[in-house]
Chains A and B, each alone.
Chain A
Amino acid sequence: MSIKVLIPTPLRPYAGKQSIIEVIAQTVGEALSDLVTKHPDLRKHLFSEDGKLRSFVNVYLNDEDIRYLSKDATPVKETDTITIVPSVAGGR
């Protein structure tokens, strides 16, 4: 099925300057896989060399962090939205 992935501003240059990309997937893992297949330049910004999500990349299915669901195996449905947000932190 087709679901939407929201792309944050820093990753849009690697995603054809698009803010929303439709992917075909049954799970979150498949959605991310289809995303980087469609836009290969995104891969190194989302995944480390061992294929895991980079530590500062958060992936949400609707309002839930996939780390607290079933991670890559989390099933998706047509009305779902996946949102990618890099972390925001710092301090003096």
Chain B
Amino acid sequence: MALKIPVELYEQVRQHGEATYPHECCGVLVGEFEESGEKAVKAAVQCGNTRTDSLANRYHISPSELVRIQRDAMLAGHDIVGFYHSHPDHPARWSATDLEEAHWTGCSYVITSVEKGQAVLTNSFLLLDQEEAKHFEDELLEVI
């Protein structure tokens, strides 16, 4: 299992984290679920962080943006395959809050650590299982 992302989109995701530093960035990864179980990213859609109370350590994507992105993706024959956000001055690992607030089972949650304004590591985590037993697993992020 892997999340495959073209290098230009990978860089776009990382640069978004640098642009919003010291605040968290967030966005949606649109693409395809392949029969192999891998996911292929076709677009990275930047979103606004609606958590104006705590921009440095929280993110929230407006549901109305998600509705629009999901509809546009489906019209193009694609799907939402994951999400991304940044951790300013914090490791590129999921947090308890990330897990608690994750509800898209089967999708990837990509996290970029941004240290002093520079993107460092970008990791992907796959959300598995139903709500009561949900958990993240490390996922191969294949930059193509």
Interfacial residues, chain A to chain B (CB-CB below 8 A)? 6, 8-10, 13, 19-20, 45, 54, 56, 58, 60, 63, 65, 81, 83, 85-92
Is A90's CB under 8 angstroms from B79's CB? Answer: no
Main secondary structure of the interface of B (DSSP, over half): mixed
> What number of A-B contacts does a CB cutoff of 8 Å give?
99
Q: Taking A9-B106, A91-B24, A92-B87 as contacts, is the C-beta distance between A60 and B80 under 8 angstroms?
A: no
Shortest beta-carbon distance from B132 to chain A in Å: 9
Is A65's CB under 8 angstroms from B63's CB? Answer: yes
Q: Taking A83-B71, A91-B54 as contacts, is the C-beta distance between A8 and B80 under 8 angstroms?
A: yes
For A20, what are the chain B residues with a Cβ–Cβ distance below 8 Å? 74
Give complex CA distance A9, B105 in Å: 8
Residues of B in contact (CB 8 Å), total 43
For B67, what are the chain A residues with a Cβ–Cβ distance below 8 Å? 58, 60, 63, 83, 85
Return the contact of B107 from the options A10, A13, A65, A83 (Cβ within 8 A). Answer: A10
Return the contact of A88 from the options B61, B71, B100 (Cβ within 8 A). Answer: B61
Which chain B residue lies CB-closest to A81?
A: B71
Interfacial residues, chain B to chain A (CB-CB below 8 A)? 24, 26, 28, 33, 51, 54, 57-61, 63-64, 66-68, 70-71, 74, 79-81, 83, 85, 87-88, 90, 94-95, 97-107, 109, 130-131
Shortest beta-carbon distance from A17 to chain B in Å: 11
A and B contact pairs by CB, cutoff 8 A, 30 listed: A6-B70, A6-B71, A8-B70, A8-B104, A9-B104, A10-B105, A19-B74, A45-B130, A45-B131, A58-B63, A60-B64, A65-B64, A81-B71, A83-B70, A85-B66, A85-B67, A85-B70, A88-B101, A90-B58, A90-B59, A90-B99, A90-B102, A91-B51, A91-B58, A91-B59, A91-B85, A91-B98, A91-B101, A92-B88, A92-B95
